[in-house]
A and B are shown apart, each in its own frame.
Chain A
């Protein structure tokens, strides 16, 4: 652990968003650590949800410095993208963030379509929106359950998975996979949705609001949960900009940054939905953003089901796909924030460069600064609200 002993953050950087009560944040000026020790949290730790390792320099239970160590499941996705054809790399993208596979395949498919100028039929676009939003809800449910189990409440996990099962069944009927979907193809989607799927979606949209209310009644109003989250782990908009944090993290800091709205893609401009933001910047704000996002996703699905046209689900795609030389980007709003695929093509049938900009990586980057001066349980609660998926960080 190089140079981590007895490092005191004396730059006074432990300041959160304005108006956030910081009762559990220690003033670094008043801290004269007599003795610090290094707590090696992970790579196997119940709170790390995978193989994240955090080297925490602790002063008692207070964190003076938390240094995330990543790379334990690095799988060279970018390099793999550079030595196989477009279609062969497509399934890889759904393994990057396994909880929001639809969004990730959407970004890659979108970038290739943009480069090859492939038209996507409208029915396919609607199906992409419906499945993307279903996937977002499923992902947020996993986050909700996992956060609560981080906080020691194990029951909500099972409640969330109970409802998530409905989504998984729907998507399984559509594309065969339950987690790492590869449903989107260049030029459309691989399977047309049958009436069962559309009816199932409609039922789910009707079923879910009552369940979300139940979630709120059971968990959100709970005094222990509010004490654990309110005012804890403040992340200001400046800090988000500094580290490039996106998604619910920046929306929890009061910035209405949502790729679906600021860089519209697919047919999202046709739908009427809100970007939930909460200005507090604390863990509770990030919690509420995700809970509100589930409702908004339901709204989008509802509208898409009303408007979905008939027609083909695959456009015209050349047999051998070659992108003209150039630089193509496509960003989507994944469940954890902005996911961007950048493809540099030199005209061959494999990409020259594939760059994946993943949201969890940026969201984790701010952990070191945000967790300084917090106590261990609060820092882990904050980490839970960042909703980290470790394969998404390492990719």
Chain B
């Protein structure tokens, strides 16, 4: 027994376990978030959603994935084969790596990186390139329009997102995600989203949270900002020419990106694994609190999708350049000024 525990604490074994754990977590989420989304959409649209496969439809993901695996992987004539095959890999790998730095609990983090925040954001941008590759390689006009849209949309929304993250960085003073969570100990008003208000670090922190959430929706290409696969305009956008598991991987990546985005929002603003009520914390409760916050945010993402129509593309860019960037710049400056003042005092 003791030897087993000491084996588990060995670094390579630990990393292997985390690798398996993260892959399982992502696989489970990608499969069951699709089901959850369809169930939630059904509930919002006064219909039951998938309910035939298994009790209440719980076997539906297996049916879906089985179908996708059984389909022929078809490479359309004339596509750039290398990029066409590379794109699904490139879209799936970064969010998987991002989860390495995300703290699920006080000690439950694969790698306690000092520059975790930087890692997540640099890898988050690779997603754009994957969609660009997919759109370009597909040799389809809808795909290429979609690729062009994705690039301009992601560039536009990365700026306010990074400005917001800079604001957080200035108030917390660290890029270590676990350290950021540790600073938010205590009741829910110690969370970053509220803490700035009463410590006067940044009274506009709730606004920055909203900006972060909007940017996260746009970065993950979720409705109402789903320009990449605006199905009534661009059929399926960059994914038009993908079928079978090629399409399935894009689909999984979309949900994995949502998981990463929402877990970042939970870590940066909502106290990560910290309990909202001061008690009930610890190695068991921590991950549960984290997952509760994560899924609450994911539910909100789905709720938004099934409530709002899609924005128009130029309206989308205007929202970022004319509203979100000025506001996030202002909050950054305000936060800097307030921190300087409190520091001087």
Contact = CB atoms under 8 A, between A and B. Distances in A.
B22 to A, nearest CB: 32
A177 interface: no
B235 A225 contact: no
Contact of B46 (A24, A162, A227): A162
A152 B232 contact: yes
- Residue among B141, B235, B309, B313 with most chain A CB within 10 A: B309
Chain A contact patch, size range? 20 to 34
B235 A155 contact: no
Contact of A46 (B226, B232, B307): B232
B226 A152 contact: yes
A60 B145 CA distance: 8
B44 interface: yes
A158 B46 contact: yes
Nearest to A38: B141
B241 to A, nearest CB: 15
B78 interface: no
A39 B140 CA distance: 10
B39 interface: no
A222 B310 CA distance: 11
B230 interface: yes
A153 B45 CA distance: 11
Nearest to B45: A158
B115 to A, nearest CB: 37
B116 interface: no
A24 B315 CA distance: 9
Interface stretch (A97-105, A120-128, A143-151, A325-333): A143-151
Contacts of B46: 158-159, 162
Contacts of B232: 46-47, 149-152, 380
A152 B313 contact: no
B306 interface: yes
B45 A159 contact: yes
B233 A154 contact: no
Contacts of B313: 61, 375, 377
A271 to B, nearest CB: 33
Interface in A119-171: 148-155, 157-159, 162
Interface string B276-309: 0000000000000000000000000000001111
B309 A377 contact: no
B171 interface: no
A378 interface: yes
A157 B232 CA distance: 14
B47 interface: yes
B310 A152 contact: yes
A153 B309 contact: yes
A154 B308 CA distance: 8
A273 interface: no
- Residue among A152, A225, A375, A378 with most chain B CB within 10 A: A152
B173 to A, nearest CB: 37
Given A158-B45, A162-B46, A222 B308 contact: yes
A150 B141 CA distance: 19
A153 B310 contact: yes
Nearest to A40: B141
Interface string A342-383: 000000000000000000000000000000000111101100
Contacts of B312: 24, 227-228, 375, 377-378, 381
B309 A224 contact: yes
A153 B308 contact: yes
Given A152-B224, A159-B45, A46 B231 contact: yes
Interface string A193-228: 000000000000000000000000001001011011
Contacts of B235: 45-46
A377 B233 contact: yes
B230 A224 contact: no
A55 to B, nearest CB: 12
Nearest to A149: B232
Nearest to B224: A224
Contacts of B309: 148, 151-153, 219, 222, 224-225, 228
A227 B310 contact: no
A378 B230 CA distance: 13
A155 B44 contact: yes
B314 interface: yes
B311 A224 contact: yes
A243 interface: no
A294 to B, nearest CB: 20
B141 A37 contact: yes
B39 to A, nearest CB: 14
A380 B45 CA distance: 24
A28 B47 CA distance: 47
Contacts of A381: 312
Interface string B212-235: 000000000001101000111101
B51 to A, nearest CB: 16
Contacts of B142: 39
A155 B232 CA distance: 15
Contacts of A150: 232
A116 B142 CA distance: 55
A138 B226 CA distance: 30
Interface in B101-148: 141-142, 145, 148
A37 B145 CA distance: 11
Given A151-B232, A152-B230, A376-B233, A158 B310 contact: no
Contacts of A378: 312
A227 B311 contact: yes
B306 A47 contact: no
- Residue among A40, A61, A155 with most chain B CB within 10 A: A155
B314 A24 contact: yes
Nearest to A376: B233
A155 to B, nearest CB: 5
Nearest to A151: B309
A227 B315 contact: yes
- Residue among B47, B142, B232, B310 with most chain A CB within 10 A: B232
Interface of B: 41, 44-47, 141-142, 145, 148, 223-224, 226, 230-233, 235, 306-315
8 contacts: A24-B314, A150-B232, A152-B226, A152-B232, A158-B47, A224-B309, A224-B311, A227-B315
Closest 10 interchain pairs by CB? A152-B310, A153-B309, A158-B45, A151-B309, A47-B232, A150-B232, A152-B309, A46-B232, A227-B315, A155-B306
